Structure 1
Amino acid sequence: MTATVPPTGTVAARVDELTTIFERGLRENLGVGASLGLRMHSAGDGFARYYLDPNPATINAMFTVHGGVLATLLDTAMGSAVFTRLADGVAYTTLELKVNFIRSVTPEGSRLTCDAEAVHVGRRTATAEGRITDAAGKLIAHGSTTILILQPDN
């Protein structure tokens, strides 16, 4: 059974919190935003959009964007989509991450955009799906996640 959608004010508060956390990481040179160049474009009720401009920090030995970087982009966006649907004080962690790689990307390639949507948000678990596309709209990778919802201690 899907959990009740949080009130709009709660969604807005969670989006603000998510934005604040991400921007702090950039300012303080912490996290995947700073180290890989991931950027949050937007987030709302059950969705999130992040982007990545491939750069030297994201390449593998084949001089293409590393699959782990693409997985991180998906994980970040899908987790954020779920986060927008959680009540205040509730956290989460990834239980499972599934990624399907469709095509490789060179570091000189176009901006990658990841759109993610929460599919189910319950009391204990959540699921989400995401897609990474290039500037031409070509599918680069898609994935899904199962998330453990961490309720605050009573």
Structure 2
Amino acid sequence: MKEIKFPFLDHIGAVLIRCENGEAEVELKTQPYHLQHLGFVHGGVISTLMDNTGWYAAVSNLAEGYTSVTMEIKINYLKPASGKTLKAVAAVKRQGRSTSFVTIELFDEEKLVAFATGTYAVLEDKSK
């Protein structure tokens, strides 16, 4: 697994489970601060998990010296999430020289609650 740290996910309590060969998995044990006013997981938490899991899938396919950023993400919220554990699973469907197209599914206790597609730009990593 490619070692990639993302401090924001640590901040919200998410854990990278897997990141390799164009696939990624991120898990979150929900806490009261992840919930909205009706007691369901906030849509912003769901979108954050899905976008970052898609990003991990995209960068797992890239050569050393390259990174990625989100160009576009479309999320379909299928039903409210209210379980103790959320798991986002992403897979690269098409990898090009300048973009990656990724699908992401979000599960609440094994039930699909959201589906997303994301496009991620491939860039030279000049931060190193």
- TM-score after normalising by structure 1: 0.76
Is the partner of 1:63 in helix, strand or coil? coil
How many residue pairs are counted as aligned between the two chains?
Answer: 126
Gaps of 5+ in 1: 1-11, 26-30
* Aligned match of 2:108: 134
* Aligned match of 1:33: 10
* Aligned match of 2:61: 85
Q: Output one character per residue of 1:116-149: Cα deviation in whole Å (capped at 9) or x when no partner.
A: 00111111111100111122x2111110101111
The share of aligned pairs that are identical, in percent, is 28
Q: Are 1:63 and 2:39 counterparts?
A: yes
Change (3 A) 1:49 1:152: closer
* Aligned match of 2:48: 72
- Higher-strand-fraction structure: 2
Q: Are 1:148 and 2:127 counterparts?
A: no
Matches of 1:147 and 1:60, distance apart in 2: 28
* Aligned match of 1:112: 86
Superposed CA RMSD in Å reads 1.5
- Higher-helix-fraction structure: 1
Matches of 1:134 and 1:140, distance apart in 2: 6
* Aligned match of 1:6: none
Is the partner of 2:48 in helix, strand or coil? helix
Is the partner of 1:75 in helix, strand or coil? helix
Please show how residues 12-51 of structure 1 align to structure 2 within 5 Å: 12=1, 15=2, 17-18=3-4, 21-22=5-6, 25=7, 31-34=8-11, 36-51=12-27
Q: Output one character per residue of 1:80-136: Cα deviation in whole Å (capped at 9) or x when no partner.
A: 001010111111110001101011123xx231111100111111111100111122x
1:152 CA drift (Å): 5.0
Supply the AA of the counterpart residue of 2:105: R
Greater C-alpha Rg: 1
Matches of 1:115 and 1:100, distance apart in 2: 15
Gaps of 5+ in 2: none
* Aligned match of 1:103: 79
